[in-house]
Amino acid sequence: MAGLEGAFLCLGNPLLDVSAVVDEAFLDKYEIKLANQILAEEKHLPMYAELAEMPNVEYIPGGAGQNTTRVCQWMLQVQHACSYMGCIGDDEFGRKMIEVANKEGVHVRYQVDPTTPTGTCATCIVSSERSLVANLAAANNFKVDHLMLPENLELLHKARVVYCTGFFITVSPASIDTVARHCAEHDKIYAMNLSAPFIVQVPPFKKVLMDAMPYIDFLFGNEIEAAALAASEGWDGLPLEQVALKLSRMPKANGCRPRVVVFTQGCDPTLVAVNGRVQRHPVMVIAKEHLVDTNGAGDAFVGGFMSQLVCGKDIAECVRAGNYAANTIIQRSGCTFPPKPEFVWN
């Protein structure tokens, strides 16, 4: 495990998850769909105070990219193997995230906006399913100028794998373009996640994704996001295997490696499309009574996957680690994990 410091870099939207078990009436009150991810509108803002008053509320450092980074760091168990950038406020929530990151060994380089509070994400849990409503606040204010600071460029230059969430598209397209081009020019791996249906359903956001596509070596998504992307491309009714293949065959800026498209499907096999073929990787099945919370399962899968990718392992090992990490997280509340993984390295 030597030489892994700084191997993984993620840019994303750091949010403090405000997590609570709610009922269907709560979802209806705020016009939220189960198992969906949206950005907060004016009508959603009172929800955060209401969640905070609930007896079962929990506060967990989150945001999809930060979850992935924390899980990758946990899997690797090497101080500062993983680095993370995003924007927080100069407040208690922001300081809490710094404290947790330092404790877990993640190298954070937050941009701090003293005028805007740290972003929050309402995590509404109904029967182990969750709906996420993100109030980006300070997370929305990340600027490419922060990335270009010499000490932060040093992290980019050191990284073997760079990852951006689809959610980050709404914040800093210029940063995405900068890191994507850097990876292509220096033969590094650049990865992105579809993250949510709205990313491909809102034309300006989808344009950023498609502009980045030539630079993407690994594209992640779940079956709902994949179907939304297929619909936006006019591929309605096309099986997910074919959607994955079509995306894997789109033109690439760096021709030295093929694009790998990875679609998770909950308890159904994970689809991996590369080199004109689709592989199906079974997931680790658990008894329903052991399922606590699916929040962060997809983020954890990518974190586990990345822990092997930065070590040069093959796709099967990356998926195995991703499944292990996701399986661990769904048996706990929020994106949390035990002190050390029990994953057996090959």
Q: Which range (155-164, 268-277, 290-299) has the least confidence?
A: 290-299
CA distance 64 to 68: 6
Angle at 159 between CA 221 and CA 262, to 5 degrees: 15
User: Which listed residue (28, 268, 299, 314) is catalytic?
Assistant: 299
| 236 catalytic residue (yes or no) | no
CA dihedral 73, 76, 78, 81 (to 10 degrees): -50
Residue 131 has, within 13 A of its CA and on its CB side, a CA count of 20
Cβ neighbours of residue 266 closer than 8 Å, sequence gap 6 or more: 222, 223, 283
Helix axes 315-329, 64-76, angle to 10 degrees: 110
pLDDT digits (tens, 9 = 90+) for 9-67: 999 999 998 889 999 999 999 999 988 889 999 999 999 989 989 998 988 889 999 99
- Strand 129-135 relative to strand 58-62, pairing: unpaired
pLDDT digits (tens, 9 = 90+) for 273-323: 999 999 999 999 888 888 887 778 999 999 999 999 999 999 999 999 999
pLDDT digits (tens, 9 = 90+) for 197-227: 999 999 999 999 999 999 999 999 999 999 9
